[in-house]
Structure 1
Amino acid sequence: MKVFNGVTTQSIRKKDLNRVVIETLHNEGRSLRYIANYLDFSKTTIFNELAS
């Protein structure tokens, strides 16, 4: 079981977990490209998630 920002992967939905991971990596100063590669998403998807 992984923990991101004190939230366990079993306690939330996958979409919510992706949001937590995106925000955590973004707050750590990671680039959109890094986050997209980490989650196997497009940079546009990451940008849209951060903009919402």
Structure 2
Amino acid sequence: MNKLTSLLMGLTLKKVIRGGLILTFSLIGMMGALFLGVVSILKSSDAYKI
């Protein structure tokens, strides 16, 4: 019984860690996309000024 509960706890931890990693990477990707969008907008506005 004790082994079963520890196994379930380990599986749950793995799922939580994997979910957290996916969430972190997706957030980083969204931040990168926003940053690239802002940079491209700034570059285009600079081009219009020139």
- Alignment TM-score, normalising by the size of structure 1: 0.33
Structure showing greater radius of gyration is 2
Q: Which structure has greater strand proportion?
A: 1
Q: Which structure has greater helix proportion?
A: 2
